[in-house]
Structure 1
Amino acid sequence: MLQDVFNQPDEERRATAIAGIFSEDVVFRDAEGTATGRNELAATVAGLLAQGPGLVFTPDGPYRGVADLGMRSWQLGPPGGATILGGLDVAQVADGRIVRLWTILGA
């Protein structure tokens, strides 16, 4: 699950989750730019976590998908608190791993 990556403050656990979910050459795109590969993704996630310590991503609605594409809305906020930001993740999967992930803010 993406929360196992984007909510994980422990670097080793996050790296293990990334290796299990994402392809080696994953491409992640959001409003801030593009990260290519697991190492860049890990650095990007570390930066996101540093921007909002104590905040967590939670799914907001069901997973939806067709063929190799999937999407899910999410919310960001303190555990049990008000939503600060929402968005939508769109993922392309190949061989059981995410190869491309787009994050759209405010969706």
Structure 2
Amino acid sequence: METVVAKYLEAWNATDPAARKAAVAAIFTEQATYVDPLMAVTGHAEIDAGIAAAQAKFPGWVFRPAGPIDAHHNQVRFTWSLGPEGAEAPIIGFDVAVVENGRIAKVYGFLDKVPAA
């Protein structure tokens, strides 16, 4: 599951549109769903658009693992942080992903720390 999480975060960090689309296709099933407090999307195109929107809102920020990976059966949960490289991350969350044949089929995302509006 460590590889799945690493590839997932790579997709979120891929800023080149072609590389991001390829990363999304590699780690998500065709009809994968992603839901968090800010978006609910299905399929590669919508997931890619959601990632692009997050990158546009937080240009230059990167997603990093922020704790241990906990997995059993076909599911994994992990904490991540989002912030500028080399600085304390102002956003922290955790995701639970359901994996099918080595690719993510569902993601349930939660935000634990967000800056005040």
TM-score category (smaller protein) = over 0.9
* Structure 1: runs of 5 or more not aligned: none
Q: Does 1:45 align with 2:59?
A: no
SS in 2 for 1:26: strand
**Moved runs in structure 1, 4+ residues, more than 2 A?**
none
Q: Does 1:21 align with 2:33?
A: no
Aligned-pair distance for 1:33? 2.6
Q: Does 1:54 align with 2:60?
A: yes
1-side partners of 2:11 and 2:97: how far apart?
Answer: 14
- The amino acid that maps onto 1:83 is A
Percent identity of the aligned residues? Answer: 34
Correspondence for 1:72: 78
* Structure 2: runs of 5 or more not aligned: 1-6
TM-score for the superposition, normalised by structure 1 = 0.96
Find 1:63's aligned residue among 41, 51, 69: 69
Q: Does 1:99 align with 2:105?
A: yes
- The amino acid that maps onto 1:41 is I
Aligned-pair distance for 1:95? 1.5
SS in 2 for 1:2: helix
2-side partners of 1:44 and 1:18: how far apart?
Answer: 11
Aligned-pair distance for 1:86? 0.2
Instruction: Report the aligned-residue RMSD.
Output: 1.0
Q: Name whichever structure is richer in helix by fraction.
A: 2
Correspondence for 2:4: none
